[in-house]
Amino acid sequence: MRSLYLRIYLTVVAVLALFALVSGWLLQHHLTQESVRMEAAIHERIVAWGELLERAMPPADAPRDEQRAVLQEWSQRLRVPMALDDAQGRRLAVSPSFVRRELGPRALLTRVQDIAFADGRTLHVLRGVPHPMPGRGPGALGPWPDGLGLALLLLALFVAVAAGAWPVVRHLTRRLEALKRGVEAFGAGALSQRVAEEGRDEVAALGASFNRAAARIEALLRSHQSLLANASHELRSPLARLKMAVAMIDGAAPPQRLALRREIDTDIAELDALVEEVLLASRLDGATAPIDDSHPVNLLGVAAEEASRVGAAALGDDVQVPGEERLVRRALRNLLENARRYGGDEVEIEVRAQGALAEVSVRDRGPGVPEAHRERIFEAFFRLPGHAEREGGVGLGLSLVRQIAERHGGSVRCEPRAGGGSCFVLRLPLRAGAAAGPGPRAGTGATAAPGGAAGAAAMRT
């Protein structure tokens, strides 16, 4: 049996059948006990009536009419059909109700109980077969379903419940089958496949989990495909220049050979940077483990060290953020190098505490970024028109900054700077319980985080 809905349904039906059988056996056992108890009670009652009538009846030698009159009087008073025989078994008196019950259509439902008098006479009492009935007291007389009737009643109950359980079970398993088809379609390559999230039960939660996982996998695959396509395209230019330089170096004059070597070194450095950035972007895309925040990052110290590399000014508050220093340093380095490459010599970085966030602003005096491109510049391999020819680069630096920011629970955005230029704002959560202290201003020294390399914030050049 492979169908889940059949297994569930047959399990429900089997449990229901077992319940019906046990319930029927318990009910039959209870009815049997009640019948025995009621039979004993009725027997004791009739015996007591017999003793009462033995004392109330005329003697055995009294006239038959007198005995008949007394018997009929007590039969009406007790509402019980009675008959009286003499010692030889001849009928002396009988009540009209006895004749009607003994010869009527309900004769099979009656029973005769005999009571012997001390003088030899016999009193016959006609009574019904006892059956307990719901809603009536013990010893009630009347019809009650026998074994066959009880079995038919339980069978009807079983069929009704089984028929009601079928649509419920089938609806549940039909949703599971739809989820199965969605998973199979997704596994076959339909990355846009999603399943319905109907209801609020576990099946709906499972469908929602699948949709979230499918969206994440689709985004990762699309990102990796785009990354691979763009990386292969970007690799062609430095590789072509390398091939040309290698082909020309053997026959070149010494001055030209030196220039070709410098070109080769530049192309190798560009290839190395491209491969490094592609690998880092791929790792950040596929990372699922939480960041290692056991060692807080001194944001101002790291900013001062990276600013000194490009000759920029660093100022602001001494704040600490949880995260991986290697990634935070890479984000700040990319922002500073981007500002130096496209924004000219007037570059500065400022660290401020804003509530529960640390805000790093990297400002330049370049031509700025058009409003239509302020979001697109954070896409992988996107470069502003004309910048690639003038400044170089492969368009992964700002994309990595956004990935690193999101990996640490933060964000990054590009804003226009008053007076011209651009301002890139990186926001990261502060370490819990960390207090921001006053930091160095522009033109003063800035100390890096404890344990790191000391660096001074260089004056603008």
Report the domain count for the chain: 3
> Ranked by mean pLDDT, which of 214-218, 268-272, 417-421 comes out on top?
417-421
Same-domain status, 280 and 325:
no
Residues 135, 23 share a domain: yes
Higher pLDDT, 319 or 8: 319
- CA 163 → CA 17, 287, 382, distances in Å? 13, 51, 63
Alpha-carbon distance of 246 to 442, in angstroms, equals: 47
Q: Based on the domain organization, do 214 and 245 belong to the same domain? A: yes
- Residue 62 within any structural domain of the chain: yes
Instruction: List pLDDT tens digits, range 26-54.
Output: 777 787 888 888 888 888 888 888 888 88
Q: Compute the distance between CA of residue 326 and CA of residue 423 in angstroms, rounded to an integer.
A: 23
**217 & 134 share domain:** no
Query: Are 268 and 392 in a shared domain?
Result: no
List of residues 6+ apart from 395 with CB closer than 8 A: 230, 379, 380, 381, 382, 383, 388
- Domain hosting 270: range is 202-286
Residue-level pLDDT at 32? 82
Comparing C-alpha atoms, which of 306, 303, 308 is closest to residue 352?
Answer: 303
* Model confidence, pTM: 0.47
Q: Are 279 and 302 part of one and the same domain?
A: no
- Phi and psi at residue 123, to the nearest 5°: -100, 130
Chosen domain end from 116, 136, 151: 151
Give the up-direction half-sphere exposure of residue 142: CA atoms within 13 A in the CB hemisphere: 9
Domain-located, residue 310: yes
**Neighbour-count burial for 224-245, b at 16+ CB within 10 Å, e otherwise:** eeebeebbeebbebbeeebeeb
pLDDT at 5 > cutoff 70: no
208 and 124 within one domain: no
Q: What are the tens digits of pLDDT across the range 441-452?
A: 444 334 333 333
Residues 51 and 112 in one domain: yes
User: Is residue 258 located within the same domain as residue 347?
Assistant: no
Tell me: do 13 and 99 sit in the same domain. yes
* 291 assigned to some structural domain: no
Residue 386 in any domain: the answer is yes
Residue 160 placed within a domain = no
**pLDDT tens digits along 165-213:** 777 777 777 777 888 888 888 888 888 888 888 777 777 888 888 888 8
* Cβ pair 171, 183 in contact under 8 A: no
Is 318 in the same domain as 269? no
Alpha-carbon distance of 53 to 299, in angstroms, equals 113
Task: For residue 459, tell me if it sits in a domain.
Answer: no
